[in-house]
Amino acid sequence: MRQQFDADVAVIGYGPTGVIAALSLAQQGAQVLALERDRDIYPRARAVTVNDWTMRIFQNLGIGERVEKVIDPQRALRWVTYEGDEVMRVEHPPSALGAGSRCYNIYQPVMESELRSCAQEREDLITVRYGAEVTEIEQDDSGVTVTTTDTDTGEVRTYRTRYAIAADGGSSRQPDPAAPGHPAAR
Ligand SMILES: Cc1cc2nc3c(=O)[nH]c(=O)nc-3n(C[C@H](O)[C@H](O)[C@H](O)COP(=O)(O)OP(=O)(O)OC[C@H]3O[C@@H](n4cnc5c(N)ncnc54)[C@H](O)[C@@H]3O)c2cc1C
């Protein structure tokens, strides 16, 4: 078993969770290898709101002011019909966390792009491989072997890290129900 590590932690998936995981680890001085299947940020809006807990995380990472420039404070939430009749209104109280606003409107592709720019500035500790789909993970007593397949060329590579974080989100591969450890296999 190879004992030389390519990084301390492999972060699998580089959406918002993966980027924040990478930045948090880099803040602690860990070497991170982020492996992302897609070459570009998913181009459509999904999340439309983040709250002050999320802002606190950004602030703790020292990127709060930068992210605030690409998101908007949400003072209230108002639902209206096409005719303009108000059906619901929620006024947000001020943040109790000292984070500014209680809620923020976001356009996810823009926020993700800013997060990735912030992480790019930690390239001393964060390496990102795009187009690298993780196809296999094997854990042993001393670490993890992560296998990727290049989404264009099909080239297979393996990386050895001490730990791996699965940040592969909603499009995560479904586990094989016949695989050892799967509840259905018991
Ligand atoms: C319609 C809709 C509305 C939503 N509204 C909100 C909202 O208002 N507020 C909110 O907080 N959230 C909302 N969400 C959820 C929000 O979009 C997700 O919480 C957010 O994108 C999760 O980030 P993530 O990094 O965990 O996962 P993702 O954004 O899914 O990122 C995972 C990444 O992992 C990569 N990946 C997957 N498998 C592999 C693999 N095998 N190898 C390498 N890379 C891989 C993917 O390409 C992707 O880039 C909404 C979602 C949807 C669909």
pTM of the model: 0.91
Nearest CA to ligand 1 atom 5: 47
DSSP state of 46: -
User: What is the average per-residue pLDDT within 136-165?
Assistant: 97
Half-sphere exposure of 110 (CA within 13 A, CB side): 12
Q: Which of 39, 46, 53 most suits a substitution to test ligand 1, by most atoms within 8 Å of the C-beta?
A: 46
Backbone angles phi, psi at 112, to 5 degrees: -60, -40
With a CB cutoff of 8 Å and minimum separation 6, the contacts of 175 are 182
H/E element, 79: strand 76-80
Q: What percent of the chain has pLDDT over 70?
A: 97
**Has residue 45 got a pLDDT over 70?**
yes
Domain total of the chain: 2
User: 63: domain range?
Assistant: 49-106
Residue 122 shares a structural domain with residue 172: yes
- pLDDT bin (cut points 50, 70, 90) of residue 165 is very high
**Ligand 1 site, CB within 6 A:** 12-18, 35-38, 46-50, 108, 133-134, 167-173
Question: For position 186, what pLDDT does the model report?
Answer: 61
User: What is the average per-residue pLDDT within 40-61?
Assistant: 95
- pLDDT bin (cut points 50, 70, 90) of residue 182 is confident
Query: 166 alpha carbon to ligand 1 midpoint, in Å?
Result: 12
Residue 122 shares a structural domain with residue 102: no
Residue 8 shares a structural domain with residue 62: no
Query: 176 alpha carbon to ligand 1 midpoint, in Å?
Result: 21
113-134 tens-digit pLDDT:
999 999 999 999 999 999 999 9
**25 burial class (0-12, 13-18, 19+ CB within 10 angstroms)?**
buried
Q: Which of 9, 27, 8 is nearest to 119 (CA)?
A: 27
With a CB cutoff of 8 Å and minimum separation 6, the contacts of 28 are none
For residue 163, give the amino acid letter: Y
Nearest CA to ligand 1 atom 35: 13
**Has residue 176 got a pLDDT over 90?**
no
Residue 83 shares a structural domain with residue 129: no
- pLDDT bin (cut points 50, 70, 90) of residue 2 is low
